[in-house]
Structure 1
Amino acid sequence: MDKSKILEAVKTRIIEKIEKFENLIESTRASNNDTKSSMGDKYETGREMLQQEINNLQRQLNETLGQQTVLQKINAEPCTKVQNGALVQTDKGLFYIAVAAGELILDNQKVITISPESPLAKSMTALSKGQSFSLNNVPQIIKEIW
Structure 2
Amino acid sequence: MDKSKILEIVKNKISDKIQQLENLIAETRASSNDTKSSMGDKYETGREMLQQEINNLQRQLNETLNQQAIIQKISSDPSSKVQNGALVKTDKGLFYISASIGEINFENQKIMTISSESPLAKIMSGLKKGENFSINKNDQVIENIW
Task: Give the TM-score normalised by the residue count of structure 2.
Answer: 0.99
Q: Deviations over 1:86-136 (max 9, x none)?
A: 000000000000000110001101111000010110110000000000000
d(CA) in 1 for partners of 2:144 and 2:61? 34
Match of 2:63 in 1: 63
Q: Residue in 2 aligned with 1:94?
A: 94
1:14 equivalenced with 2:14 (yes/no) = yes
Matches within 5 A, 1:50-129: 50-129=50-129
- Provide the identity percentage: 69
RMSD over equivalenced CA pairs, Å? 0.4
Which amino acid is 1:38 matched to? Answer: S
1:75 and 1:128 map into 2 onto residues whose CA distance is 18
Instruction: Give the corresponding residue for 1:29.
Output: 29
Structure 1 residue runs of 4 or more that deviate by more than 6 Å after TM superposition: none
Number of residues of Structure 1 aligned to a counterpart in Structure 2: 146
Distance 2:31 2:59 in 1: 19
TM-score w.r.t. the length of structure 1 is 0.99
Which stretches in structure 2 are left out of the alignment for 5+ residues? none
CA-CA distance at 1:37 after TM superposition = 1.1
In structure 1, distance between residues paired with 2:71 and 2:124: 20
Counterpart-to-counterpart distance in 1, 2:138 and 2:107: 28
Secondary structure of the residue aligned to 1:128 is coil
Q: Secondary structure at the match of 1:117?
A: coil
Aligned partners of 2:72 and 2:131: how far apart in 1? Answer: 29
Q: Which residue in 2 is equivalent to 1:38?
A: 38
